[in-house]
Amino acid sequence: MIIDFSRYSYIKIGPKIEVKKIDEYNYTDEFLIGGATNTLISPSPPKLAILDDRYKFISQKNGYLRVGAKTKNITLYNFAKRHNIAGFEFLAKLPGSIGGSIKMNAGVKEYEISNNLAALKTLSGWREKKEIKFDYRFSDINEPVFEAVFELKEGFDYLLDEKLKALRANQPKSPSLGSVFKNPKGDFAGRLIEAVGMKGMTKGGVRVSEIHANFFINIGNGTFEDMIYLVKEAKKRVYENFGIFLEEEIIIL
């Protein structure tokens, strides 16, 4: 299938190229893009793939939730809210799909997708959570995720839901890839980028957000080159001023 990443990607940057639709039987080492919520696609990326729609489901049985990796985060959030299930409140404002969120251990503060995870199915079969290393915005999963099983806990937390939504209220609404950099230990990437004078800085059609400096937004006709320039500039300035090496949270292909 052909995907135009200038329309499909959350930052609205990228070429129009062929993307393979995969399942558990036809994967041949392509890069799985998911919803392209945190992925910057270059004009000449590696071979790309997207999951087949068969991995878009939620089922509830014997105290567990079984969720297809192509299921959107907001879909699982709504399911949990509707069925009074706890542990997925943080997904309300988190873009993307379950498979990609598990691979990067997405979350808000200490509320992470791996917290309630019991097991997942990858190309090599089913794996229990204890077999996988999870850390802040990290997992050691290096193959496609097809589905996941989560522990089912009753009691959707409406107060936590509102609290987490409020935390995301200061994020820009313009097209972006979310947080560009991981927060270094004991500090915040947005604070550091602002401190080196880059808040509001613009290169071509991409701007360091004036609302939150760790978000780089497409203000119109932004390009891959514009984004890369600002990413490199932020890393350079923060290292020169603070001796801190910023690590990308986004994926660059």
Please give the positions annotated as active site.
137, 179, 249
- Which 3 state secondary structure label does DSSP give 74? helix
Distance CA 137, CA 146 (A): 19
Question: How many alpha carbons fall within 13 Å on the CB side of residue 117?
Answer: 30
Query: Which pairing describes strands 58-61 and 85-86: parallel, antiparallel, or unpaired?
Result: unpaired
Distance CA 88, CA 104 (A): 16
**DSSP codes of every residue in 180-242:** SBPPPTTS-HHHHHHHTT-TT-EETTEEE-SS-TT-EEE-SS--HHHHHHHHHHHHHHHHHHH
List, in order, residues 6 or more apart from 214 with CB less than 8 Å away: 179, 180, 181, 188, 189, 190, 193
Q: Amino acid identity of 192?
A: L
Distance CA 203, CA 224 (A): 11
Query: Which pairing describes strands 145-151 and 117-122: parallel, antiparallel, or unpaired?
Result: antiparallel
CA separation (Å) from 84 to 40, 79, 251? 36, 8, 34
